[in-house]
Amino acid sequence: MASRLVNWFKFSSPATFYPLARKIAVVSTIIAVVLIAIGLYMSFFVAPTDYKQGEGYRIIFVHVPASWMSMFIYVVMAGWAALGLIFNTRLSAMMAQSLAPTGAMFAFLSLWTGSFWGKPMWGTWWVWDARITSELILLFLYLGYMALRSAIDDPRRGDRASAILLLVGVVNIPIIYYSVQWWNTLHQGSTIKFNEESSMDDTMLITMLIMTFGFWAYSIAVSMVRVRAVILERERSSSWVREQLGAET
């Protein structure tokens, strides 16, 4: 038990995590490219035409994965924030920091693709519906987190302040998730249900899951590359960064 704890804390040091992050990034990039390629092929050539929405429903294959990732990344960031506050590890805050732009991008894409789906199906680009509004708040939480971080000069203080913002904002995640049940909304109910059979064709479901795992691997790859940049920037006065970069030139 004790040795296991030591092992985990070993990787909480930025210096040991830096080379590991590169390996994770390479593997995830390969997985992401393969899955997204398969997912795109299935999105257009394998998944059948929807009986109600025709070809227009194919937006689901980017809309749902992007929306899930926007929520999932936020929860992961909040988890890192909590770890950082409890154990006072620098790397936790760096991980949260590295995920934020990708999460914000997926929140934006969720709203964008939703808008492009809403126009032909509901006849409007935008509506202040519970789910859409709470997803917009999620985008603002990401932007607020990034703005707060960069507004505080002392990085460690910035870590703590922004960690608290992240933890408070978690309340929005169940609101997004359950909004279609709690309120009478224009947005349709969940496509995937855990307690009953999904209201979806199997091929469509598999395609959506493949795209989701592809987006997931993409997020891991991008955040690992970004955390390496963040580590270098924040640890630039430490001797290992100097050796690493001094040796390269």
Partner 1 sequence: MAEFFDMGGYALYVWGSFGATALCMIAEPLLLRGRSQQIRRRIARMVRLEQEVKHEGQA
- CB nearer to partner 1: give 163 or 217: 217
43: Cα within 13 Å, side-chain hemisphere = 22
Question: According to CB under 8 A, which one of 59, 64, 73, 138 is a site residue for partner 1?
Answer: 59
**Encoded tokens for 43:** 């999105």
* End-to-end CA gap in the chain: 42
With contacts defined by CB under 8 A, name the span among 11-19, 57-65, 146-154, 156-164 that binds partner 1: 57-65
DSSP string, 40-98: HHIIIIISPPBTTTBGGGGGHHHHHHHHHHHHHHHHHHHHHHHHHHHH--HHHHHHHHH
**Encoded tokens for 220:** 């891991």
- CB nearer to partner 1: give 83 or 231: 231
Interface with partner 1 in residues 71-130 (CB under 8 A)? 101-102, 105, 108-109, 112-113, 116-117, 119-120
Assess 149 for contact with partner 1 (CB under 8 A).
no
With contacts defined by CB under 8 A, name the span among 8-16, 86-94, 170-178, 216-224 that binds partner 1: 216-224
Interface with partner 1 in residues 13-42 (CB under 8 A)? none
Strand partners, 50: 54
Question: According to CB under 8 A, which one of 35, 66, 163, 210 is a site residue for partner 1?
Answer: 66
Output the smallest distance, CB 208 to partner 1, in A: 14
- Rounded to whole angstroms, the Cα distance separating 247 from 249 reads 6
Output the smallest distance, CB 76 to partner 1, in A: 17
- Rounded to whole angstroms, the Cα distance separating 214 from 32 reads 5
Strand partners, 54: 50
Contacts to partner 1 by CB under 8 A: 44, 49, 54-56, 58-59, 62-63, 66, 101-102, 105, 108-109, 112-113, 116-117, 119-120, 218, 221-222, 225-226, 228-229, 232-233, 236, 241-242, 245-246, 248-249
